Amino acid sequence: MTAVESRPAGVLETSETSSGHRPFGARVKAFVALTKPRVIELLLMTTVPVMFLAAQGVPDLWLVVATCVGGYLSAGGAAAFNMYYDRDIDALMERTARRPLVTGMVSPRECLVFAFALAAGSTAWFWALVNPLSAMLSLGALVFYVVVYTMLLKRRTSQNIVWGGIAGCMPVLIGWSSVTDEVSWAAVILFLVIFFWTPPHYWPLSMKVKDDYERASVPMLPVIAGNKAVARQIVLYSWAMVGVSLLLWPLGYTGWFYPAVAAVLGGFWLKEAHGLQARARAGITGAKLKEMRLFHWSITYVSLLFVAVAVDPFLR
C-alpha cells in the first residue's frame, strides 16, 4: 500500500482536529464511519433473505445473528482498508471530504490497525461460529475488494465497478453457505443478479458526481464516456439483471411469488433505465437528466426483490 500524507492537500481542518483535541464521542463515530454502515445495510439486506431461501423457512436465529455480525465485521474491515488506501483521492472529492482520515479524526495508522483487526476478527468469528466455508468466502470478498478493486482497478479502468462489484455479490454466497455449508446454483443465480445490478446501480450516481471523480482522476465510466454511452451500458446490464433474476423459478428454487414480484420490479426498473437512455439520447443534461431516479429506485428494487426471496418459501 502506498503512503501519502495523513492530511492531504485540500483538507479543511476543524478546530477540534487542528488543535489535537479529538473528543471520545466523535472518535467513536469516526471509527464507525470507517466501516461504511450504510453500505453494509445493503449487504445484509441480501444476506438474510438468502438464508430463508436456503432453509426453505426460518433459519436458526442465532445463525442469522452470527452471520450478520461476521458480515458486518468483514465488510467494515474492507471499507476501512479502502479508506486508508484512498485517503488521497477522498480529500479531493466533495462527497468524501468529511471522511475520518481526511478530517484527521482517525490517523492512517489507527485506521490500518482497525482494518486488520476487523479482518482477522471476522474470519475467526465465521470459522468458529458459522462454518469454515463461510469464513473463507468472507475473507475472499474482503481481499478481492481491497486488492482487486481498490488497489488494482479503481484508478486504472472504467470497468472498475463491474469487476470490483464481485465483492459486493459475495454476501449472497455467504448467506447460503452459512445455512447449507455449500454453494448451490440458486446462490450463484442471486450472485449474478447482484453482479448485473451493481453497474446500473452505481453509474447513475457516478454521472451525478462526475466532476468529483474527474477531479480525483478516477476513471469511472461517466468520466471517460458521454451520457449516451453510459446510459446504453446501463440498459444492457439492466436487461441482463432482470433476465437472470427470473431464472430461480424455472430451475425450481422458488414458487410463484418470487417470479411475480421479480417481473413487476424488473418492469419498473427497465422503464426507468430506458427513460434515462431516452433523456441522454435527447442531449438532456443537468438536473433534467434525472439520473438519480434510477439510483434511488435501484435500492428499492434490490430491497424488495430480496424480501420476495425470503417470503417465497412460506407461500409454496
Q: Are 215 and 163 members of one domain?
A: no
Which range marks the domain in which residue 118 is found?
29-177
* Pairwise CA distance, residues 258 & 277, whole Å: 28
Which residue shows C-alpha cell 426460518? Answer: 58
Q: Are 290 and 215 members of one domain?
A: yes
Q: Are 247 and 167 members of one domain?
A: no
Query: Which of 123, 149, 177 is a domain's end point?
Result: 177
Q: Amino acid identity of 12?
A: L
**Cβ-contact 197, 295 below 8 angstroms:** no
**Cβ-contact 83, 34 below 8 angstroms:** yes
Per-residue pLDDT of the chain (316 residues), as tens digits, is: 333 333 344 444 444 454 456 788 889 999 999 999 888 788 888 999 999 999 999 999 999 999 999 999 999 999 999 999 999 999 999 989 999 999 999 999 999 999 999 999 999 999 999 999 999 999 999 999 999 999 999 999 999 999 999 999 999 999 999 999 999 999 999 999 999 999 999 999 999 999 999 999 999 999 999 899 999 999 999 999 999 999 999 999 999 999 999 999 999 999 999 999 999 999 998 889 999 999 999 999 999 999 999 999 999 8
CATH number at residue 38: 1.10.357.140
* Pairwise CA distance, residues 105 & 85, whole Å: 16
Q: How many domains in the chain? A: 2
Q: Are 196 and 238 members of one domain?
A: yes
What is the predicted pLDDT for the residue at 4?
A: 34
- Reported for 112-117, long-range contacts at CB under 8 A and 24+ positions apart, including other chains, are 112/80, 112/81, 112/84, 114/31, 114/34, 114/80, 115/34, 115/77, 115/78, 115/80, 115/81, 115/84, 116/77, 117/77
Q: Are 137 and 188 members of one domain?
A: no
Residue 7 within any structural domain of the chain: no
**Cβ-contact 234, 273 below 8 angstroms:** yes
Q: Are 35 and 171 members of one domain?
A: yes
Query: Considering all CA atoms of the chain, what is the largest pairwise distance in Å, rounded to the nearest integer?
Result: 63
Q: How many CB atoms lie within 10 A of CB 297?
A: 18
Q: Amino acid identity of 6?
A: S
| Nearest by Cα to 248 from 226, 235, 266 | 266
What is the predicted pLDDT for the residue at 20?
A: 56
**Cβ-contact 56, 313 below 8 angstroms:** yes
What is the predicted pLDDT for the residue at 5?
A: 37
Residue 23 within any structural domain of the chain: no
Residue 21 within any structural domain of the chain: no
What is the predicted pLDDT for the residue at 107?
A: 95
Query: Which of 142, 177, 212 is a domain's end point?
Result: 177
